[in-house]
Amino acid sequence: TSITSAKIQVNGVHLHYQQTGEGSHAVLLLPGMLGSGQTDFGPQLKSMNKQLFTIVAWDPRGYGQSIPPSRDFPPDFFERDAKDAVDLMQALKFKKFSLLGWSDGGITALIAAAKYPTVIHKLVVWGANASVTQEDVRIYNGIRDVSKWSEKVKKPLEEMYGHKYFAKTCEAWVDGISRFAEKSDGNICQQLLPDIKCPTFIIHGEKDPLVPQAHAEYIHKHIKGSR
């Protein structure tokens, strides 16, 4: 039941991950914006059933302990994360695995499930969105300045990154994700949702301050058989 922590080279970068459990069902945990396995999934790494599952939590490139490189947000950053995530699991010799993704990690998981259907077993996403509206951009700009964040949310990230990297990367994220709203339909991965064939469970918090509920309803409507 111990948690191992290691790095592995994938697509030219050294990705950090944590792994625990010895179950036959492999699960990858995908953190949200600025998150890491440790900050976003501490309770899951500790408490998920270690007999049923082998649990892997990763730090996407430029996040957590997967630095260097510094995090950047080119137009295809979600696709890049999806490829990194799948290639990481294959480098760890998992032939088939499930994805649990929250927020940006949920978007990454949706793209991975659509693009690599033969290796994804099941999918759970929460706080995810498949497009960006002008209203979303307004919400994102409200969190651009990290000095206004609550102490509870800010503290672990400042400890992990230092204030400068944390503040700069948050601003870069707001700019990067806001770019999707410049397209007519604000599309991130809407066209991919019908390609998702694995069993899919969508969770959404009614009080989610960053992602309006309409996003979850859209994803549910466009993934056939999702719950």
Q: What is the mean pLDDT of residues 214-225?
A: 98
Q: Are 19 and 6 contacting, i.e. CB atoms less than 8 angstroms apart?
A: yes
Query: Could you report the per-residue pLDDT of 73-108, keeping only the tens digit for each?
Result: 999 999 999 999 999 999 999 999 999 999 999 999
* Count of structural domains within the chain: 1
**Boundaries of domain holding 111:** 4-130+188-222
- Across the chain, mean pLDDT equals 97
Give domain status of residue 167, yes or no. Answer: no
Q: Tell me the whole-structure pTM to 2 decimals.
A: 0.97
Give domain status of residue 165, yes or no. Answer: no
Show the tokens assigned to 203: 């969770």
Residues 90-122: b if buried by 16+ CB within 10 A, e if exposed: eebebeebbbbbbbbbbbbbbbbbbbbeebbbb
Give domain status of residue 150, yes or no. Answer: no
Give domain status of residue 169, yes or no. Answer: no
Give domain status of residue 149, yes or no. Answer: no
The CATH number of residue 57's host domain is: 3.40.50.1820
SS3 label, residue 195: helix
